[in-house]
Amino acid sequence: MTDTAVNTSQMQISDEVAISIQNMNKWYGTFHVLRDIDLTVQRGERIVICGPSGSGKSTLIRCINALEEHQQGSISVDGTLLSSDLKNIDKIRSEVGMCFQHFNLFPHLTILENCTLAPIWVRKTPKKEAEETAMYFLEKVKIPDQANKYPGQLSGGQQQRVAIARSLCMRPRIMLFDEPTSALDPEMIKEVLDTMIQLAEEGMTMLCVTHEMGFARQVANRVIFMDAGQIVEQNAPEPFFTNPQNERTQLFLSQILGH
């Protein structure tokens, strides 16, 4: 495991900025969920965001592809500034892939149709080409033989891998993961994490909200700890886990690593 950790941490991270968040604030009604978020993500970075529930970590990554609206500050993705302009939002969404806790596959479409839908309708890819791409990524997540089944016929781990393949079919430059393994049985977590590790090794820019600390140590080059809507601490995984500075980080880590 340490071998892989060394490998991935030496992977190239370019100087190019993939995501730039400046002074971002968000409220739900009067509740201040995200406070003065400043975050710059370089291309090729793999960031794990952790923190107690309600700390705003999911909200943060959901702001990046405008599933949530922020009220102050700026977010730009690949140089496109996120505003209320629907064209910009659609452009950013088609560049940024997202995986959800509950997979959110389309239950009325087959696995293959789930994967080809967005390329065909958003990218205007010819159907045949979209299907070839879909099969390529389904092979990559190791479930090409399920292509003609419906999501309801697959296990949770398989569904989540399909969800990853579905995002990859849009050839995103950035992937967001919102607790991708939290809804899975223990024996299925590994197959999903393996897929994510593989993705990381290929240099995908990734932001993962997860409690899988093993994954964070192995894959991340930066770990961000959030609490009460603020970024409390961020560091490379090794110092983050062995020598956390902030009291709240220490408490959180002792709670999740303690058992």
Partner 1 sequence: MAQDHSTAFVRTQEIPPAPPPPGETGAVHWIKTNLISSVPNAIATAVGIYVVYWLLSGLIPWIVNGTWVTNNIRECREVLAGSGGGCFSVLTERYAQMLFGFEYPSEFYWRPSLAFALLFFAVPPALFPMYLPRWMLIGTGLYPFVAFWLIWGGTILTPIGALVGVMVGYYAFTKLDKYGFAAALGGGVVGAWVVWQAFGMIAGGMPGFIALDAVESRNMGGFMLNMILGVVCVSLSIPLGIVLALGRQSTMPLIKIVCVVFIEFVRGVPLITLLFVANVVLAYFFPPDSNIDLILRVIIMITMFSAAYIAEVIRGGLAALPTGQYEAADSLGLNYAQAMRLIILPQALKISIPGIVNVAVGLFKDTTLVSVISMFDLVGMIRGPILSSTDWAGVYWETWAFACILFFVVCFGISKYSQWLEGQLRTDRH
Residues that bind partner 1 (CB under 8 A): 65-67, 86, 90-91, 93-94, 96-98, 100, 102, 104-108, 117-118, 121-122, 150-153, 166-167, 170
Cα–Cα distance, 168 to 170 (Å, whole number): 5
What the block records as the tokens of 235 is: 């560091």
Closest to partner 1 by CB, 17 vs 117, is 117
Cα–Cα distance, 105 to 157 (Å, whole number): 12
The long-range contacts involving 79-86, CB below 8 angstroms and separated by at least 24 positions, are 79/17
First to last CA, the chain: 21
Closest to partner 1 by CB, 173 vs 190, is 173
The distance of closest approach from Cβ of residue 100 to partner 1 in the complex, given in angstroms and rounded to an integer, is 6
What the block records as the tokens of 28 is: 């739900």
Cα–Cα distance, 40 to 23 (Å, whole number): 11
Residue 116 corresponds to which amino acid?
T
The distance of closest approach from Cβ of residue 213 to partner 1 in the complex, given in angstroms and rounded to an integer, is 26
Closest to partner 1 by CB, 114 vs 221, is 114
The distance of closest approach from Cβ of residue 181 to partner 1 in the complex, given in angstroms and rounded to an integer, is 16
What the block records as the tokens of 106 is: 């389309």
Helix ranges, the chain (H):
2-9, 57-64, 86-95, 111-121, 127-140, 156-168, 186-201, 213-219, 237-242, 247-257
Closest to partner 1 by CB, 49 vs 216, is 49
The distance of closest approach from Cβ of residue 241 to partner 1 in the complex, given in angstroms and rounded to an integer, is 30
Closest to partner 1 by CB, 11 vs 89, is 89
**Triad 155, 179, 25: Cα angle to 5°:** 150
Closest to partner 1 by CB, 120 vs 213, is 120
The distance of closest approach from Cβ of residue 95 to partner 1 in the complex, given in angstroms and rounded to an integer, is 8
The distance of closest approach from Cβ of residue 92 to partner 1 in the complex, given in angstroms and rounded to an integer, is 8
